Amino acid sequence: MKKNNTAPTAVPCFGDTKIENHRLIVGGCDAAELAKKYGTPLYVFDVNYAVKTAAAYVNVLKREYPESTVCYASKAFCCTAIYKLLAPLGLGADVVSGGELFTALNGGMDPKKIYFHGNNKSEAEVKYAIESGVGYFVVDSLHELELISKHAKTPQNVLFRVNPGVEAHTHRFIQTTTPDSKFGFSIADGTAESVILSAQKYNNINFVGIACHIGSQIFEPQSFEIAIDKMVDFIVRLNSLGITVERLDLGGGFGVHYVAEDKPLTPEQYMAGSAKYLAASVQNRGIKKPHLIFEPGRSIVGEAGVTLYTVGAIKTIKDIKTYAAVDGGMFENPRPSLYDARYTAVVADKADCECDTLYSIAGKCCESGDILIDGIKLPELKSGDILATFTTGAYHYSMASNYNRNFVPPVVAVKDGKSAYMVKPQTYEDLIRNDVIPEFSEDGK
Ligand SMILES: Cc1ncc(COP(=O)(O)O)c(C=O)c1O
């Protein structure tokens, strides 16, 4: 087979990545050089891309719907530095655990702008959040309401997470579901209404609004419009019961590019479209304009990320496939094995060269299912090549584990041609830091 590794091909480059002289450039830095300097596997994070996207969300929403807050969904990528970047832009934060809350506060996030989500917050987390002065709990159970009431010394603002019966995901047309989600209280069966009414009996619970989150990787603006219709209907219903709704949280879910077929809208289109639709809807129904909250996560940080790997073993199974194994895998990117997530990759120093050889990119974990990309055409690979996967800024570092006692890779921030750690590398000592040999007392206690 004749191969020509210098013929350019059309390679989708996501975020603000570019190709210069066949080499992949992220945040002005040469990806192959970053791999040499910091080692692999390596998460690379383009600071300017995340800041630009977050600022666009804030500005568009301020313009279209001034009574609003953009909260960064911490679950997408949580480390101290991300809040140092986003808080000065005016963003609040959505957190779902004591750990995310601790990190957000450590990064300088104003507790008053924090929305504490989660379907099963522990009593310790509830207490910690109240003591930290968290602005809002997004209540997801009556058990949680009891815990908040037990610990709140002054009236605590709460929203209720409701299930509007709308679910939307990539490439799937909007579904109107039966309310079987573990999240939220169903509007359709009357549960949402009755729990909100029951909250009125606590004099230290201050009901301020309702929240929903209809899915992830949503490309169709109609999904948000359907959710807005359902939420506004519900506000009208609550108003008729004498309950005011000051805040409406519509969650996150804006899509990003993982592969060439993905066609997300721009931040402007997502935000402006939904904000205008809500403003018109509120006006038509003659209800008080609620403070609007959006919680984008993936779309702020997703395309800011690139992961760099070194190719190791290359193995051909005759007449079936060729595996190229990299030094990462499901411990640093569990998304393909969790939900068949798809990715695009390039060879860092042959980024636009002809892709004529088919590979399955395997991880190094002891699981047959640890395949990062099952079938991608690349230039012919050799051990030592640096492979780069795109759109790895969201739900990668935050979902990583030490499975097989691999290291969670460090995160290197890149900006205007400079690079620096955002999360440092782990060491073998880190892996055994909390290990203890159990010692049992003689009396068995
Ligand atoms: C309540 C809530 N808000 C925001 C988000 C962030 O969604 P995305 O990262 O798709 O923008 C999620 C994701 O699960 C969520 O559950």
CA distances from 419 to 51, 80, 190 (A): 16, 17, 53
Active site residue 71: no
Query: Which of 216, 224, 395 has the most ligand 1 atoms within 8 A of CB, as the residue to mutate?
Result: 216
pLDDT at 181 (0 to 100): 81
Which residues of the chain are under the pLDDT cut of 50?
Answer: 1-8
pLDDT of residue 4: 38
Q: Of ligand 1's atoms, which has the minimum distance to the CA of residue 298?
A: 9
What are the pLDDT digits (tens) for 156-190?
999 999 999 887 876 555 555 556 788 899 999 99
CA-CA distance, 359 to 380, in Å (whole number)?
A: 9
Pocket probe for ligand 1: among 57, 72, 75, the residue whose CB has the most ligand atoms within 8 Å is: 75
pLDDT at res. 7 = 46
Nearest atom, ligand 1, residue 253 CA: 10
Atom in ligand 1 nearest the alpha carbon of residue 217: 10
* Residue of minimum CA distance from atom 13 in ligand 1: 252
Helix (H, G, I), strand (E, B) or coil at 297: coil
CA of 392 from ligand 1 middle (Å) equals 16
Alpha-carbon distance of 67 to 42, in angstroms, equals 40
- How far away, in angstroms, is 253 Cα from ligand 1 center? 6
29, 71, 212, 366: the active-site residue? 366
Is residue 392 within 8 A of residue 40, CB to CB? The reply is no
Residue 383 CA, ligand 1 centroid: distance in Å: 38
Burial bucket for residue 235 (CB in 10 Å: 0-12, 13-18, 19+): buried
Q: What is the per-residue pLDDT for 443?
A: 74
Give me the pLDDT at residue 80, please.
98
Radius of gyration of the chain (CA): 24
- pLDDT tens sequence across 88-132: 999 999 999 999 999 999 999 999 999 999 999 999 999 999 999
The secondary structure of 174-197 as a DSSP string is EEE--S--SSSEESTTSHHHHHHH
The helix (run of H) or strand (run of E) holding residue 38 is helix 31-38
The ligand 1 site (C-beta within 6 Å) comprises: 73, 75-76, 94, 117, 213, 216, 251-254, 295-299
> If you measure from the C-alpha of residue 62 to the centroid of ligand 1, how many angstroms do you get, rounded to a whole number?
21
Dihedral pair phi/psi, residue 218, rounded to 5°: -90, 125
CA of 323 to the centre of ligand 1 (A): 34
Q: Give the closest residue (by CA) to ligand 1 atom 2.
A: 251
User: Measured in whole angstroms, how far is the alpha carbon of residue 429 from the centre of its chain?
Assistant: 29
Residue nearest to atom 6 of ligand 1 (CA): 252
Structure-block tokens of residue 261:
């077929």
User: What are the structural domains of the chain?
Assistant: 18-45+303-431 (2.40.37.10), 48-302 (3.20.20.10)
Q: What is the pLDDT of residue 176?
A: 54
For ligand 1, atom 3, which residue shows the shortest CA distance? 251
Task: Out of 170, 214, 254, 295, give the residue to mutate to test ligand 1, the one with the largest number of ligand atoms within 8 Å of its CB.
Answer: 295
CA of 222 to the centre of ligand 1 (A): 18
Q: How many separate helices (H) and strands (E) can be counted in the chain?
A: 12, 23
Q: Which amino acid is at 74?
A: S
Say whether 128 sits in a helix, a strand or coil: helix
Does residue 306 contact residue 389 with C-beta atoms inside 8 Å? yes
Residue of 385, 383, 384, 358 whose CA lies nearest to 23: 385
Mean pLDDT of the chain: 94
User: What angle in degrees, to the nearest 10, is found between the helix axes of 123-131 and 98-106?
Assistant: 20
C-alpha of residue 154 to centroid of ligand 1, in Å: 29
